[in-house]
Amino acid sequence: MGGFIFRRVLSMLVVIWVVSTMTFFLMKTIPGGPFTAEKQLPPEILRNLEVRYRLNDPLWKQYVDYLHNLLRFDLGPSFKYEDLTVNDIIRQGFPVSAELGVLALLFALAVGVPTGLISALRQYSFSDYFSMLWALLGVSIPSFLLATLFIYFFGLRLHVLPAGGWGTPAHLLLPAVALGMYPTGFIARLTRSSMLEVIRQDYVRTARAKGLAEITVTYRHALKNAVIPVVTYLGPITAAVLTGSFVIERIFAIPGLGRYFVTSIYNRDYTVIMGTTVFYSVFLVAMNLVVDVAYGFIDPRIRFD
């Protein structure tokens, strides 16, 4: 186990370096700069800003300085938010995005896994067709459309939930459901297909032949192996929802990390774009490592030699 984790950490560092390097040079190839605007700055002020942020240094020196700062977990200053660094922006925005993401994941697991399980155990029944239709709608309808419909019906027509903002538990419900509908439908479909495959295995038939109760066969023997594809999917989707859904946070005016990422694009705030991209990459590879380690606890047949 220790050797496996060590090798994975080394590969994670390589992946993060590749992502950081590609992000840096892609930002440098974009025409214009962080201080480019419709109203041009005087040349003297523009030169002073470039000197202050070391944008006039050779490209190789900017790259070396960027990697050196990354090793010190310093993502640099923001070009557009005065007196804010990228670390400050992540420190402020990530807890909000994480709170919303955790609730969306809990909703997805609490609804998706039972839905897929019931659908598999009652294959070709009305419950199966209804569950898969609902799951298909969940993965087909874009989250921004769901968010708009939720705001219109529950916020503007019925006035039962806030249409936007942040601060109370009521503000969490609509964006969490809108954000969680896609993973809910995907998890339901994964659980159904995996469960249908598992319940036809010989060891499940043997457990039934021994006279074990159906609920014991389902939950103790079949479900543990059936959720392995779901655990695999949870790695990237957890990183995605915890680091901020850019569209959902924008629609509901949530002060999460996604809002800063969206505004940094059209503001050409390169350090924020690079910092949030690297932060997301670190989170993604870390979650994939957690998923790989979790395999060994879910299924004892999996070894890390």
* pLDDT tens-digit profile, the chain (305 residues): 677 778 888 888 899 999 999 988 888 787 666 666 556 666 676 677 667 777 777 888 889 988 998 888 888 888 877 778 889 988 888 888 888 888 999 999 999 999 998 888 888 888 889 988 988 888 888 888 889 999 999 888 888 888 888 888 888 899 999 999 989 999 999 989 988 888 888 777 887 787 777 777 777 777 777 888 888 888 888 877 776 677 888 888 888 887 787 778 777 788 888 888 888 888 888 888 887 777 767 666 666 55
Q: What's the Cα-to-Cα distance from 60 to each of 17, 24, 75, 195, 259, rounded to whole Å?
A: 15, 11, 17, 53, 31
By three-state DSSP, how is residue 304 classified? coil
Residue 98, CA atoms < 13 Å, CB-side half-sphere: 8
The model carries a pTM of 0.81
Dist. CA 234–CA 292, nearest whole Å:
11
Q: What's the Cα-to-Cα distance from 149 to each of 59, 156, 164, rounded to whole Å?
A: 47, 10, 13
In terms of DSSP H, where are the helices of the chain?
2-29, 43-52, 59-71, 86-121, 126-140, 143-150, 169-198, 202-209, 214-216, 223-226, 228-242, 246-251, 257-267, 270-298
Q: Could you tell me the end-to-end alpha-carbon distance of the chain, in angstroms, rounded to an integer?
A: 7
pLDDT, residue 107, reads 92
Kindly tell me the number of DSSP H helices and DSSP E strands found in the chain: 14, 0
User: Which residue in this structure is represented by tokens 């998890």?
Assistant: 187
pLDDT, residue 303, reads 64
pLDDT, residue 208, reads 78
Q: 77 CB contacts (<8 Å, ≥6 apart)?
A: 53, 84, 85, 86, 271
Measuring CA to CA, which residue among 244, 268, 274 is closest to residue 257?
Answer: 244
